[in-house]
């Protein structure tokens, strides 16, 4: 499976987890159905999605053996601020997801802005040459 297809699948896993948590908490446990609770639940799902990479890799990335790296220094620990900011365009996640699925873009929009990339976990040896990741 191509890396970009894996990224798309990881995105779907993470979205499903956020939506599933909200659905279970609000509709199964509390049996809430009013509109304010639904809006509150959607806000919680957005927060969960923004924080999905806070540990360096989301659940979807762990399943598909992907990890986030800094293109300028592949061995550097990525600041939490960047990990949150890379998911800030949640409103257009479908654009990023579609572009990744169709192989039209190598990076999500915010990954390009923040200088990040997502690579296979097994790719231990990579280096940055003119803003492009290559294997050693």
Q: What's the whole-number average pLDDT of the chain?
A: 76
Whole-prediction pTM value? 0.70
**Residue 7, Cβ density class (10 Å: 0-12 exposed, 13-18 middle, ≥19 buried):** buried
Q: pLDDT tens across 82-110, in order?
A: 888 888 876 666 676 666 666 555 667 77
Provide the residue range defining the domain that includes 21: 3-135
- What integer is the mean pLDDT of 35-56? 82
Number of domain units in the chain: 1
SS (H, E, C) the chain: CCHHHHHHHHHHHHHHHHHHHHHHHHHHHCCCCCHHHHHHHHHHHHHHHHCCCCCCCCHHHHHCCEEEEECCCCCCCCCHHHHHHCCCCHHHHHHHHHHHHCCCCCCCHHHHHHCEEEEECCCCCEEEECCEEEEC
């Amino acid at each position: 499976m191509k890396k970009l297809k894996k990224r798309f699948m990881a995105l779907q896993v993470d979205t499903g987890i956020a939506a599933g948590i909200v659905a279970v908490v609000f509709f199964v446990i509390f049996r809430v159905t009013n509109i304010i609770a639904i809006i509150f639940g959607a806000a919680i799902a957005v927060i969960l999605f923004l924080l999905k990479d806070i540990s360096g890799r989301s659940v979807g990335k762990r399943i598909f053996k992907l990890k986030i790296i800094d293109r300028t220094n592949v061995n550097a620990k990525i600041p939490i601020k960047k990990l949150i900011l890379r998911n800030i365009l949640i409103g257009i996640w479908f654009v990023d997801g579609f572009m990744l699925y169709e192989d039209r873009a190598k990076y999500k929009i915010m990954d390009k802005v923040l200088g990040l990339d997502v690579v296979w976990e097994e790719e231990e040896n990579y280096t940055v040459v003119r803003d492009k990741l290559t294997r050693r």
